[in-house]
Chains A and B, each alone.
Chain A
Amino acid sequence: MNGRLKFGDALRAGITSFDCGNAIAREIDEKIVDIPADLNSYGYDPWGYNPKVFRDFLLPAAMMYRHYFRCITNGIENIPEGRCMLIGNHAGQVAFDGLMIMAAMVLEARPPRLARAMGEYWLASQPWLGVLLDRIGSSIGTPQTCADMLDRGECILAFPEGIRGMNKTYADAYQLQEFGLGFMRLALQTNTPIIPFSVVGSEEQAPSIANLEGLGRLIGAPAFPITLTWPWLGPLGMVPLPTRYHIDFGAPLVFDGDPNDEDHVLYEKVEQVKATIQSMIRDGLARRESIFF
């Protein structure tokens, strides 16, 4: 690789040529070393996380956090030390909400934390995407990987709605879709506190009018949303609108019980989490005065 300009380096050079970009780059460099991680002598943790790649990845995300979505984050003090599970609403066709949560966990949390996102399985078979997912400390959401990470005191980020939430049409905006039960089973099994969070602003970044799942399946993707700009403008159509993000972290929810309980028993607990997030979304929407400002 030596002598070849890497994409990450080029991006970094571009961003740091601006004053604000330079300031954020310095801030990230300072904070990233404080992220607790179990790195080996080659600079990788057991799941493939590499701080150097994460630094280059986080820089544009942090720029978006500060200057594009201009995130207002509340309740970051609810993040406990040690293992925890961040559970929240998913929207916006492209997972910028996950990205902003990761940025918030580094920029705002004390000490900075690595939020390990549990991705869709199909990501792992995509060239570059799968590797990137590993290098930024995330993984595909296999229950065992997740349990291993929690055992080691990591912070997991999961969207139990998955694709159902992210690729819903605008008609369902801010209405939580069906939650999976897997996260609750893992939380009970590993005795992990759940931190509910809500993101307000993500629904308006790319309002979708339809989701052509059949076409998505044809090209091997889990969804194929139609928005006002996608696919009409080509790749440009993926650029989100500059809405303002309001991110709220709630107080930790701790559940007791048998992880192997019947689904309906787990479902009741999941409903509590869901209701908490839904009310946080309502509060966030009520507080919001403008979509863009």
Chain B
Amino acid sequence: MAERPALPKTGPAQIHCHDVKKILITGISGGQGRLLAQKLIGQWDVIGVDRVPWVGAPDGISIETLDLRKKRLRNIIRIERPEAVVHLAFVRHFRSDPRVRHSVNVEGTQHLLENCAEFGVKRVVVLSSSYVYGAQPDNPRYMQEDHPLNVSRTFPEIRDLTEVEGLVNTFLWRYPDIATSILRPVNTLGYYVHSAIGRYFKLDYLPTVAGFDPMMQFIHEDDLCEAISATLDHDLRGVFNVTGSGAVPLKRAIRAIGKSRVSLPESVADLLIDRAFRWGVWEFPPAALEFLKYPCTISGRRFDEATGFKAKLSLEDIFAGVAR
């Protein structure tokens, strides 16, 4: 694992000034949450909630450990009255009970949105994922935001993400005064984030499917932070794809990070991964194989034009960061 300096234990002292607006980050103890909090701490008065504490959080960030579905969230928003909310708190792994995952993601989001509307939040950013489009053989190579969210056709385990988007979209139309935006970033890699693709790349031997090698896009966690920050700065409303520095075939990416792969025939891969997932020795459901077979590449043009965003880290930088 590449060396990356630890986050500083103390941030700049909290500025007690009425100009500084409050921002609530849900899922602040996750990799992306911690990075974002660090980035925003100078410009915003950052508060955070998460199900787990952030050990060694910088001074000046107040963090509540709670479940988004619980009433304490309402109290926090009622008392703190944040100007903006960034919603990162999603269960994105498959280790827990799928019912719990679904409930946390969907009901947690609904509870959060209700309270945002009630207590005068002005900006809401929800971090979805490009995975909502699903990996299908007949996908256009660069899908735009209006492409149907097909993931549940082959990968029902992550349909909660599309259901969350449905809730946020309803919210977006119902509250025209709130700048609500959904970001759909491509595969996110970096030192701190625990993305699905990041966990896949950490395996000793990466299973791939023989005869398939889809183009994949990657974005670095720092660039994603930059994108979230740009969304806040520009008061964006709507749904936006967020892309990084380009695309490479999956197997080329694996070579670039210096890993070995095991190429399995389709039928063998389906069977092996199905069994391994059921026995709990493998964390991705068999449907995730679709993403190793078919493209799920998106066009980030709309976001780039709206914000002037341009990813700073190249594919080489991204792969060097996760290479061992």
Contacts and interface: CB of A to CB of B under 8 A. Distances in A.
Contacts of B140: 142-145, 148
Nearest to B316: A41
Given A46-B141, A145-B142, A40 B248 contact: yes
Interface residues on A, range: 20 to 34
B137 A47 contact: no
A124 interface: yes
Interface string B124-161: 00000000000001111111100000000000000000
B32 to A, nearest CB: 25
Interface of A: 1, 40-42, 44, 46-48, 121, 124-128, 130-131, 134, 139-140, 142-145, 148
**B contact residues, range:** 20 to 34
A124 B140 CA distance: 11
Contacts, number: 71
A192 B252 CA distance: 34
Contacts of A44: 215, 247-249, 252
A131 B248 CA distance: 13
Given A42-B248, A44-B247, A124 B142 contact: no
Contacts of B142: 46, 144-145, 148
Query: Secondary structure of the B side of the interface?
Result: loop
A127 B210 contact: yes
A131 B215 contact: no
A49 B208 CA distance: 20
B40 to A, nearest CB: 32
Contacts of B248: 40, 42, 44
Contacts of B249: 44, 48, 131, 134
13 contacts: A40-B246, A41-B314, A42-B256, A46-B142, A46-B247, A125-B294, A126-B211, A128-B211, A130-B211, A134-B249, A144-B141, A144-B142, A148-B141
Nearest to B139: A142
A46 B249 CA distance: 10
A46 B295 CA distance: 12
A139 B294 CA distance: 13
B119 interface: no
B137 A41 contact: no
B294 A124 contact: yes
